[in-house]
Amino acid sequence: MFTFENITLEFTVEEKKVPILHDIDLQLEAGKMYALTGPNGSGKSSVARVAMGIYQPTEGRLFYKDEDITSLSITERARRGIGYAFQQPARFKGMQVKDMLEYAFQYSDGVNCQVLRQIGLCPDDYLERTLDTSLSGGEMKRIEIATLLARNPKVRIFDEPEAGIDLWSFEQLIDVIGDSHREDTTTVVISHQEKILNMVDEIIMMEDGQIKLRGDRETVWPQIKESTLCSCRTACRLGDEIYADCPR
């Protein structure tokens, strides 16, 4: 169980406090897949970054397997089995794909470079490629996902895995995320894609830094559809049908 208890996050910008997350209460169970959705700027990635320890919450506590991990560093959380595939992967001059995978394997149960094949990249073509601007955004994104799979963490958070990936690869990616999910893992996918919302056990919808809706697809989907009628941006991303109905 991964628990957010009254998590609040604020940033200080020019001496003013800017609220990012407000009073997030969330329990994520092992064996379940979750989709975290909502408009841009609603706080989805901030939730993930708080979970990974990249952002320290202003208030509240985080628990993983009954341990209070609020003050643990990114490294300590990673070594306890929490993993995060970034929305925008960092580029590294000089560092090769194989280096990155080796770092990923170092603190994991150790799968092998099959993870590259899983996400549609041939190891022979990619292991010695450099993680710099010579790789496209889509390639970087797939390698980012491969490093998460290589670590085989118990809590795995994919931040908009579909961003920058072509349609064919996206279909493949959905299979990979689904196949990698286990009874003892908690998978969270931040996404606007209907296909991803369809594959999860629960949908969590955020708005303005708060959890607005939560439940299984059948319960939540009609409400998301209703609420997004007033938010064209989100509705457009959820499907053409909703877009067509959008009053704007």
Partner 1 sequence: MLTALDKKLLEEVADLHDQPPGAYNIRKDGEGIERRSLEGIEIKTKKDQPGIDVVVAAGKEGSVHIPVILTETDLSDLVYNTIDIGEGADIKLVAGCGIHNPGSGNAQHDGVHKIIVRRGARLSYSEKHFGEGDGGGRRVLNPKTILIIEEDAYAELELVQIRGVDETERITEAEVKAGGRLVMFERLLTDGEQTANSDIAVKLMGEESTARIISRSVAQGNSSQSFTPRLMAYGPGRGHVECDSIIMDQAKVRSVPEIWAGNAEAELVHEAAIGKIAGEQLVKLMSLGLTEEEAEEAIISGFLK
Binding interface with partner 1 (CB under 8 A): 52, 54, 73-75, 78-79, 83-84, 86, 88-90, 92-96, 99-100, 103-104, 106-108, 147, 151
Query: Under a CB-based contact definition with an 8 Å cutoff, are residues 155 and 2 in contact?
Result: yes
Cβ closest to partner 1, residue 159 vs residue 162? 159
Q: How far is the CB of 33 from partner 1 (least distance, A)?
A: 20
Which run of H or E residues covers position 179?
helix 167-180
Cβ closest to partner 1, residue 52 vs residue 220? 52
Q: How far is the CB of 133 from partner 1 (least distance, A)?
A: 12
Count of residues for the chain? 248
Q: How far is the CB of 79 from partner 1 (least distance, A)?
A: 5
Query: Under a CB-based contact definition with an 8 Å cutoff, are residues 84 and 48 in contact?
Result: yes
Q: How far is the CB of 212 from partner 1 (least distance, A)?
A: 28
Cβ closest to partner 1, residue 40 vs residue 73? 73
CA angle, residues 39, 43, 44, in degrees to nearest 5: 80
Q: How far is the CB of 96 from partner 1 (least distance, A)?
A: 7
> Residue 122: exposed, middle, or buried by beta-carbon count in 10 A (0-12, 13-18, 19+)?
exposed
Cβ closest to partner 1, residue 155 vs residue 238? 155
Which run of H or E residues covers position 217?
helix 217-228
Cβ closest to partner 1, residue 159 vs residue 202? 159
Q: Which of 69, 85, 64, 60 is nearest to 9 (CA)?
A: 60
